[in-house]
Every structure is written in structure tokens, then in C-alpha cells.
Amino acid sequence: MHTNRPRCFALMGLAAATVLMVGCGNKPADARRPADTPPPKAVKAGSSQGVQVAVVEGADMLFTLDMAAMRETPIMQAIKARREADGKTAPGKMGEDEWVRIQEVTGLTEKDFLTVLLSADLDTIDLDNPKPSQEINGAMGSCAIALAKSLPFPKLYECMGILSSRSKGAKLEEIEIAGRPVARVLPTSPKEPVVHTAVSRGGNTLLIAFNAAAMEGMLARDNANEAGTPDPKLTELGTKVENGTQVRLLVLASDGMRKRIQAKIDSFKDPNPQEHQTKAGMMVTFFSPIRNIKNFVMGAKAGEALDVILSGDLANASEAQQCAHLLQSFIVPMIGKSIESIDPENKLQVDDSLMADNKEATLLFTLKVTAQDVIHWQQPGS
């Protein structure tokens, strides 16, 4: 367990986490596309374009990862070499035995995973629901992963059996949605989400959703060979990310979302109970600058190092300046101390690259991560 992990990667999702923390607006799950939204685009089956079926209608959050391009960068090659030297080949937190079995079943290797796309309509997430899994299960969100090889559904089902077996009591079943076979995993813990997985018509795209409605929409788009249509403003927001960026996160704040953010910030101002006044004051000070946030963008470009740029339109220049000041004077030093505590004798370069600033109403936060930084964080106890 990494108990003292540096907080710089957590900060990468600061705005997105804030959005999720305060909940969402009241846009119905079946909201129609705006009249000025272009019709869905056809997607080419069997290519990385196939991940576009994961774009839910009216999406206001979009995450993309170009795995194929990122794997070839010097920083990722260095990290891979170190992991292999340590006897680690499985991706993420997957067990080595699980990874070997999955490769044997599917014939897929790490290089066969090309592109990831995740989208969601954040207004459909019910974060007031006391059951964590239902918060996710109620969301219209979908994920697709482009594959270099075809993956037949029976092999996917077998893989889900391997992965679900580590959760004692989890139930794997085959169901039908939109006339297509779907593998559904029902967890034993209410804190874990139900997972639906399927494959595209050609088998070259892995489809994942946390509820049947989201999977049905994705399969319907796949059946029709169409891509979903995000909010037009989200498409425009994507133009702010530098070309060649392998990781992108785009988030739009709807009117409903801003109202929830403002209500949450205002709730911190309640002076009762008395002992929480100091903590509440800190929360108000920190979060007040984002009460009118319009959007949030994160881009990460890998090369010799990983350059990360975060920006958010706070709709007000003074609030952006205030937020930048708070980050630079409070958060950045805190991250620096956390990083220094990992290995005091070997200063990590990311510490020197942290910077917060603003350009008019836009808040900017940048950092540079080296392979050595990542290797340090992966060490036991980091």
C-alpha cells in the first residue's frame, strides 16, 4: 500500500475531482441533443476511430489516452525497462499470474492496446446517493479501448472470469443488451460498481460501461456505425490542447454543476458546529475562486519527460489570480515537502517544475515528471 504517495498526480485531477465532489445538475439522462449539434459521424470499424462509439450524447467530460504513441516515448521505455528488471510485466495493479492467463486466452499483448476513450454526461451522476456504487451506476458514461487484434466475445467473457475471481463472491453472468452479448460482473460489496463489458461488431474495440443504459447506447451506436456527439463546447475546448499530446482530459461545467459547486461552497460558511469554523474557513478560502468555473483542461505530453499542463477558465481574472496564488503559496510547497519526504537524499525533478499562474481568467498549473520520479513513486513505501 502506498501510504505517502505524492499529491502531484492527485492535483492533476483537482478540478475534475471538485466537480465530482459537489455533484451535478439536474439534466435528465435522456436529454436531447441541442438543435445546433451536428448529426453523429460514421466511424470506421476495426480502427482506433471505433472508440468514438463511447462518446455519450451530450458528453461534457472526455478523456483520451493514446497508448500506442505513449509506449514509444523515452520516458515510458525507461519505466518499462525498470519494471521488467523488477520482474513486473502486468499493467497497472493486475497480478502477474492474471496477466499471463489473459494473454494466453486472448493472444493479446501490451502492444495490442492502442487507444482509450472515456466520456460521460456528468449531470447524470447522482452523488447525493448514499451508496457509492449507485453513484457510478447511475451515470451515462462509457469507455472504449481500441485493439490491434480482434477479441471474440467468448474470450472476453473468459477474461472477465479471471479478473472477477479475485473479488470473492462476485458474480459473472452473460446478458443480452441491444441484441448483443454482454458480460456483467455483479460485485459483493455495495462500494464497488457493476461492470458491463462487450466487444464491437468487428471485435477490435473493447466496450465498458457501469450500467445497462450506457452500454445500450454504446452498442446502439456500434450497430449503426455511428459516433456519439459530445457537447459542441467540449469539441471546441479540445482545440486548446497542444497537438501531439497523448493524454487529454476535457471537462465542461454546466449551469447546474456550477450551482451545485456554489451551494457546496456556501455550505462551508455555516458557523455551526463551532469547532469546525477554522476548517470551514479554509475550505471557503480554497474553493471560492472556482465557484464560477466554466471548464477544465488537462494535457500530458510524453517525451524524455512527461509535461503536464492544467488550465481552467474561472470566468473571472481576480478569482483566477487568487487561485493561482493559493496554489503557488500553499499547494506547491505542500507537494514539494511530500516529494522530498520520499527520498531526502535524491531530490526529484518534479519538485522544481511545479508552477501555478494565471492569464486573465484562466488558471494555469504545470509540472514535469521524469522517469526517475515515477520509479521513485513505485518503490515500496513511496
330-378 tens-digit pLDDT: 877 777 676 666 556 555 566 567 788 888 889 888 888 888 777 766 6
In a domain, 55, yes or no: yes
Query: Does residue 8 fall inside a structural domain?
Result: no
Residues 296, 164, single domain; the answer is: no
Residue 292: partners with Cβ closer than 8 Å, 6 or more residues away: 258, 262, 314, 315, 316, 319
Query: Which residues are CB-neighbours of 195 under 8 A, at least 6 positions away?
Result: 160, 184, 185, 208, 210
Owning domain of residue 173 = 36-230
**Residue 333 φ then ψ, to 5°:** -60, -35
Residue 143 sits in the same domain as residue 268: no
If one counts the domains in the chain, the total is: 2
DSSP annotation of 243: T
Looking at the fold, whether 225 and 279 belong to one and the same domain comes out as no
By CB atoms closer than 10 A (0-12, 13-18, 19+), residue 96 is exposed
User: Is residue 200 in some structural domain?
Assistant: yes
Lowest mean pLDDT among 6-20, 25-39, 271-285: 6-20
Name the pLDDT band for 102 (thresholds 50, 70, 90).
very high
Same-domain pairing of 76 and 176: yes
Query: Which DSSP symbol is given to 274?
Result: G
Kindly state whether residue 335 falls inside one of the protein's structural domains: yes
Last residue of a domain, one of 230, 261, 281: 230
Q: Which residues contact 250 (CB under 8 A, 6 or more apart)?
A: 61, 62, 63, 234, 237, 238, 241, 295, 296, 297
pLDDT of residue 132: 62
Domain's final residue, options 192, 208, 230: 230
Q: What pLDDT is recorded for position 37?
A: 44
**221 and 103 together in one domain:** yes
Claim to verify: residue 285 and residue 372 sit in the same structural domain: yes
Tell me, yes or no, whether 80 and 209 share the same domain: yes
Which amino acid belongs to residue 199?
Answer: V
Each residue's pLDDT tens digit, 128-153: 666 666 666 677 899 999 999 999 99
What's residue 380's pLDDT? 57
Higher pLDDT, residue 38 or 280: 280
> Is 79 inside any structural domain?
yes
Nearest one of 361, 340, 359 to 350, comparing CA atoms: 340
**In a domain? residue 243:** yes
Asked which of 177-186, 199-208, 259-268, 313-322 is least confident by mean pLDDT, the reply is 259-268
13 occurs within a structural domain? no
Please tell me whether residues 49 and 193 are part of one structural domain: yes
Question: Could you tell me the pTM of the whole model?
Answer: 0.80
201, 230, 259: which is the final residue of a domain?
A: 230
Do both 164 and 304 map to the same domain?
A: no
